[in-house]
Amino acid sequence: MGIGKKLLLSGVKPTGRPHIGNYFGAMKQFVALQSEYDSIFFIADYHALTTLHDPVKLAEYTLGVALDYLAIGLDPKRALIFKQSDIPAHTELAWIFNCITAMPYLLRGHAYKDAEAKNEEVTVGTFDYPMLMAADILLYDTDVVPVGQDQKQHLEFARDTAEKFNRLFGETFKLPEPHIVSEVAAVPGLDGRKMSKSYDNTIPLFADDDEIERLVMSIVTDSKGEREPKDPAADTVFALHRLVSAGQLDELKKRYEEGTIGYKESKEILAENMKKFAAPLREKRRELEEKPEYAKDALAQGAEVARKKSEEKMKEVRRKVGVAL
C-alpha cells in the first residue's frame, strides 16, 4: 500500500444481485478512487446474515459480490478485497462498541426503525447493525467512505462511536468522512422510490438484455400523453437517463419540455443505452464466473493482509480497554 496515501474503505452486503443504484451510487466510485487512495473493499457477509438465513444463498451472493467487484474493475493488486467474516476483529470490535453504546442512541437508527415500522421480527443483529459497521470502518483507520445517501446515518454512528471510545480510553480511532456523490446519492427504482432490493424495484447491474427491456418498460410514470410537455426533474425514466444517456441528455430534456417525446419512446431509448452500458460488464463477469478460483484466491489473499492489519489495531484496543494482561 502506498506511503502517505489516505485510506478509503467501503463494503457491499451480499443479500442479492447488486443493482444499478449500488453501482452508480457507490461501486463506480470504488473503481474510480482505488488508485488515488489506499483502498479496502470488503463483502459485508455478517451484515447480510442479519436478514438472510439461507446458507446456500448467502454463500452464492457472497461469491457473487466478489465476482461483481472484479467485473466492474476493482483490482486486487491495488485494493484489499476480502470478506468480513474472515476477519474476526470486525465482530470483536463490534462487541467492544456495544459495551460503550447506549440503547436509546441506537433506537434512533433509520434501518431499525423501518424494520420495526414494517412489523418485521427485528433481530438483535439488525438493531446492532451500526456497531458492526462502525467496527468495519474504524478498525483500519479509515479516512473516507464512499457510499450512497442511505448510509449517511451509519457514518454518523461510526464517527460518534470513535469519539466516544477516544473520550473513554484515549485517542485511538480516526473520524471517517463519508464520500457521497450528490447526483447519484439516491438512484430511484422502477416505482420511483429509492432503488432497493427490499422494495423489489431494482434493475440488476448484470441483467440480460431481455430483463433490462422488460424492467425499463415497467417503470412507473405519470399519465401525460405523448404530446404533452413533461417535467424531466419529476420523472424516473429521465433520472435513469442521467446515468447512461450522457450524450443525449440535452436533447431529451428539450423534447420533454416541448412535449415531443412520450414516455414509451423515452423508455425505449433508456433500455437501449442501459443494454450498451451493461454488455461489457456482463461479458467480463461471465469470464470470471468460469474460473471462480480466481475470485476465491483474491479473497483469501486479501483476508491474510487484512487480518494482520486488524490484529495490530486490536492489540492497541485490547490494551486500552484493559483486557490484555
Q: Which residues contact 310 (CB under 8 A, 6 or more apart)?
A: 87, 89, 90, 139, 140
Tally: H helices and E strands in the chain: 14, 5
Distance in Å, CB of 258 to ligand TYM, minimum: 30
In the bound state with ligand TYM, the residue whose beta carbon lies nearer, of 76 and 189, is 189
Q: Which stretch binds ligand TYM (CB under 6 A): 19-27, 56-64, 203-211, 242-250?
A: 19-27
Q: Which stretch binds ligand TYM (CB under 6 A): 73-81, 143-151, 213-221, 263-271?
A: 143-151
Hey, what amino acid is at 205?
L
What is the C-alpha to C-alpha distance for residues 254 and 252, in angstroms, rounded to an integer?
5
Residue pair 196/189 in contact by the 8 Å Cβ criterion:
yes
Using rule CB under 6 A, residue 85 touches ligand TYM: no
One residue of 25, 76, 109, 178 binding ligand TYM per CB under 6 A: 25
What b/e readout covers 83-121, taking b as 16+ CB neighbours within 10 angstroms? bbbbbebbeebbebbeeebeeeebeebebbeebeeeeee
Using rule CB under 6 A, residue 150 touches ligand TYM: yes
Using rule CB under 6 A, residue 64 touches ligand TYM: no
DSSP label of 208 = -
* Angle, vertex CA 63, rays to CA 62 and CA 64, nearest 5: 85
One residue of 70, 93, 137, 162 binding ligand TYM per CB under 6 A: 137
Using rule CB under 6 A, residue 74 touches ligand TYM: no
| Residues β-bridged to residue 38 | 7
3-state secondary structure of 301: helix
Using rule CB under 6 A, residue 44 touches ligand TYM: yes
Q: Which stretch binds ligand TYM (CB under 6 A): 5-13, 56-64, 284-292, 295-303?
A: 5-13
Residue nearest ligand TYM, CB atom distance: 25
Residue pair 210/203 in contact by the 8 Å Cβ criterion:
no
C-alpha closest to that of 45 among 145, 136, 158, 159: 136
In the bound state with ligand TYM, the residue whose beta carbon lies nearer, of 26 and 96, is 26
Q: Which stretch binds ligand TYM (CB under 6 A): 56-64, 120-128, 146-154, 280-288?
A: 146-154
What is the C-alpha to C-alpha distance for residues 69 and 176, in angstroms, rounded to an integer?
23
Identify the helix (H) or strand (E) that includes residue 42. Answer: strand 38-43
Number of residues that bind ligand TYM (CB under 6 A): 27
Q: Which stretch binds ligand TYM (CB under 6 A): 22-30, 112-120, 247-255, 297-305?
A: 22-30
x/- map, 176-215, ligand TYM, by CB under 6 A: --------xxxx------xxx-------------------
One residue of 151, 236, 245, 273 binding ligand TYM per CB under 6 A: 151
Distance in Å, CB of 44 to ligand TYM, minimum: 4
Residue pair 69/288 in contact by the 8 Å Cβ criterion:
no
Distance in Å, CB of 259 to ligand TYM, minimum: 29
> CA-CA-CA-CA torsion for 34, 35, 37, 39, nearest 10 degrees?
40
One residue of 7, 10, 72, 128 binding ligand TYM per CB under 6 A: 10
In the bound state with ligand TYM, the residue whose beta carbon lies nearer, of 184 and 207, is 184
Within 13 Å of residue 217, how many CA atoms lie on the same side as its CB? Answer: 8
> Which residues are at the interface with ligand TYM (CB under 6 A)?
9-13, 21-22, 25-26, 44, 47, 133, 136-137, 145, 147-148, 150-151, 154, 184-187, 194-196
